[in-house]
Amino acid sequence: MNSLTNRTRPRADGDRRFPVRRRLLPVLGLLLVPLTIAGLLSWSLGSAEERLTDVEAAVVNHDEPVKVDGRSVPLGRQLAGKLVGDEITSNYSWEFATEKTAEEGLRSGKYVAVVTIPRNFSAAATSFSRDPAQARQARIDVTTGEHSRFADEAINRYVTSTAADLLGQQLTTTYLDNVLVGFNSLGDQLGDASAGASSLAGGAEQLASGIGELSGGAEQLAQGSRELAGGLGELENGAAQLAGGLDQLREQTAQLPQQATALADAAARESKGVQQLSKGLSTLAGNLQDLRKQCPPGIVPLCNKIAVQAAIAQKLDKGAGQVEKASTGIAGGLAKMAGRAPDSGGGLPALAKGVGKLSDGAEQLHSGISRSHDGATELSGGAEQLASGIGELSDGAEELSNGTEELSSGLKQATEELPTYPEEQRQTLADTVAEPVTTSNGTKVEVGGTGLPMYAVLALWVGALATFLVLRPVPARTLESTRSSLVLTLRNFALPVGIAIAQGVLVAAMLGWFRELSLGDWVATAGIAALVAVACTAVNHALAAALGGAGRFVSMLGALIVVANGFVSAVPAVLEQLAVALPTGPALNALRAVVTTGTAPSGGAIALLVVWALIGPAVSCLVVERHRTVRPAQLLATYGVRGHRLGTT
């Protein structure tokens, strides 16, 4: 056994002869490994959004403006302006380009992305203001080049979608502002309509009153029409009697002209006879006078009688003359009645004709009065219907008046309830409705800010892996040492733990600088980072001690699992479960709680880290115990080849 001790001691003595400077350099290197990894990742990815302006992208605008309400609307130019402008906080450095230069820029790597705005962009974006059936969404094309990184496409789509959202928000705000202005106009119009309805109600009330008076007049008209029909009925009867009497008169006067002619002839003959009688009486009277004068005295009595007769004859002569005149007058009158005299005017024939015409006129009068009576009867019926209809119209006018009053009241109430928006409130409301939900960071994108805890865990894990590339995972004097395996393990584990704590503090300092942590948060971060570093060191110590190179390969796989789960949540379930099972899972949870949210880590995460920190040394202790057991075959392989015997000094 002394021989074995002597064989192994020179190597340990050689270790003691290393200068202190040469022993410190590897330790300093091990301290720099996690600091370099975490610092480089945090520096390159932690604030990548601030360096997006150094990345160039192009926008190709083919859009043709359209006219809406007589105004030109160049939405393509507005979208390009939002990309190029400063409305988006985290944005590329955009520039206008032609389609050819954009393609060349993508191929050469000058542009990480190209946004192409098609010709119909404005027409599609404003299609909602025209025929609803023709409404459609506007689209833009986003192209990334072969030189783009894996996160560039997501950033491209975020930036372009943000610009499109801003433009859509502007369109929606304008549309809503017009709607709210329409509310104001509608309120004014409803107010005017209410006033008009009030006037209409007053007019309808007056109409109802007038129709009531008209109904009374219609009743009077119906009554007068009935009386008129009755009077015309009596007049019709009188006209019928008149027509009958005139018919009889016509029949009776039809023979008067002939009778008058006969009388006129008789009167003419009588007049001639009287004329002859008058002449005879005149001659007789003259003769009697002559005879009286010649009468002898002896016949005086006779002569006196003759004288008396002569006087009588003279009187008769005078009477005959008068009769003659009368007969002549009668004959002339009858002649006129017969229509023989020029100045007779037609006489009885004309009278007969006139009576005939009068009879015809009476017949026509009777017919006309009969028709008038029928018309008056119909007028009476129509007047009664008119009175009834006007009564219903009066009721309808009353209902119209009541309805218009209700309409006026309803319009007034609607006007009072309809909201009105001043310009300032209208703009605020339109902005709020157009974008009801927003985020606290606005249009800023944090590309790697949330990845700082992952960078720290990855750095501490790789630092632990590198530690046991430099330091022995198993003590060199395990066989000859008289100390227990636990003591050997803890003594061998002391330096890696010290390095791990230093690594954790350095990484915490880096996190505090990048995240601008307060002193209290930094102390908590340093404590958690030191615990994470110790746990990672314990696990890597166990892997390197138990499996050697294979253990280091497993540790490398663990680092890859951390990276795979750290950049995106959509990973296979197996990787997600492995990430939870490894010590890096609770390490990430603990650091995220302190660094990202500023809260205390969960007790479960701390407990798991402590468990892993204890499991590592336990496994290493078992490995040391195994290394302290040597089989004869190993001794023969080591010493028999060299020709020495066991037990020699």
**pLDDT at 445 (0 to 100):** 47
How many beta carbons lie within 10 A of that of residue 468, not counting itself? 22
> Residue range 574-579: average pLDDT?
76
Output the CA torsion sign for 330, 331, 334, 335: negative
Bridge partners, residue 72, by sequence? 67
- Among residues 577, 504, 572, the alpha carbon closest in space to that of 536 is found at 504
Kindly report the CA angle at 588 between 586 and 593, in degrees rounded to 5? 95
At 507-565, the pLDDT tens digits run: 888 888 877 788 888 888 888 888 988 998 888 888 887 888 787 888 787 777 777 77
Is the pLDDT assigned to residue 8 strictly greater than 50? no
**pLDDT at 52 (0 to 100):** 62
Bridge partners, residue 287, by sequence? none
649 or 129, greater pLDDT: 129
Is the pLDDT assigned to residue 504 strictly greater than 70? yes
3-state secondary structure of 58: strand
Is the pLDDT assigned to residue 420 strictly greater than 80? no
**pLDDT at 6 (0 to 100):** 37
- Among residues 145, 96, 367, the alpha carbon closest in space to that of 235 is found at 367
At 154-178, the pLDDT tens digits run: 565 666 666 666 666 666 666 555 5
| Amino acid found at 435 | E
Contacts of 226 by beta carbon, 8 Å cutoff, 6+ apart: 380
**pLDDT at 7 (0 to 100):** 35
**pLDDT at 42 (0 to 100):** 58
**Most confident region among 97-111, 146-160, 634-648 by mean pLDDT:** 97-111
How many beta carbons lie within 10 A of that of residue 23, not counting itself? 11
Is the pLDDT assigned to residue 586 strictly greater than 60? yes
User: Rounded distance, CA 263 to CA 257, Å?
Assistant: 10
User: Rounded distance, CA 421 to CA 180, Å?
Assistant: 7
Residue 479 DSSP code: T
Flag the least confident range among 12-16, 105-109, 565-569, 619-623: 12-16
At 446-502, the pLDDT tens digits run: 444 567 787 788 888 888 888 888 777 776 666 555 566 677 767 777 788 888 888
Structure-token pair, residue 333: 């009158």
Is the pLDDT assigned to residue 98 strictly greater than 60? yes
Q: Where along the chain do its domains lie?
A: 2-47+448-642, 253-349
N- to C-terminal Cα distance for the chain? 9
User: Rounded distance, CA 23 to CA 57, Å?
Assistant: 51
Q: Contact 124/137 with Cβ under 8 angstroms?
A: yes
User: Rounded distance, CA 324 to CA 619, Å?
Assistant: 191
Q: Contact 583/535 with Cβ under 8 angstroms?
A: yes
The secondary structure element, H or E, covering residue 66 is strand 66-68
- Among residues 526, 200, 242, the alpha carbon closest in space to that of 361 is found at 242
DSSP string, 91-113: --EEEE--HHHHHHHHHHTS-SE
**Most confident region among 133-137, 241-245, 488-492, 604-608 by mean pLDDT:** 604-608
User: Rounded distance, CA 533 to CA 538, Å?
Assistant: 8
Per the prediction, the chain carries an average pLDDT of 69
**Most confident region among 14-23, 119-128, 434-443, 453-462 by mean pLDDT:** 453-462
Is the pLDDT assigned to residue 437 strictly greater than 50? no
User: Rounded distance, CA 122 to CA 124, Å?
Assistant: 5
**pLDDT at 366 (0 to 100):** 65
> Residue range 371-397: average pLDDT?
73
Cα–Cα distances in Å, from 405 out to 137, 195, 228, 368?
A: 47, 11, 42, 52
Q: Contact 620/493 with Cβ under 8 angstroms?
A: yes
**pLDDT at 442 (0 to 100):** 43
Supply the angle between the helices 152-253 and 75-84 in degrees, to the nearest 10.
Answer: 160
Q: How far is CA 164 from the centre of its chain?
A: 21
**pLDDT at 423 (0 to 100):** 60
Structure-token pair, residue 93: 């450095």
> Residue range 396-407: average pLDDT?
74
Band (pLDDT 50/70/90 cuts) for residue 435 is: very low
Cα–Cα distances in Å, from 32 out to 129, 498, 560?
A: 64, 14, 20
The strand pair at 93-96 and 113-117 is best described as: unpaired
Structure-token pair, residue 582: 């490894």
Residue positions counted in the chain = 649
At 193-227, the pLDDT tens digits run: 667 767 776 777 777 777 767 767 767 777 776 77
At 593-607, the pLDDT tens digits run: 888 777 888 888 888
User: Rounded distance, CA 365 to CA 340, Å?
Assistant: 33
Kindly report the CA angle at 634 between 490 and 644, in degrees rounded to 5? 115
The strand pair at 56-61 and 113-117 is best described as: parallel
| Amino acid found at 34 | P
User: Rounded distance, CA 418 to CA 184, Å?
Assistant: 8
> Residue range 222-247: average pLDDT?
71
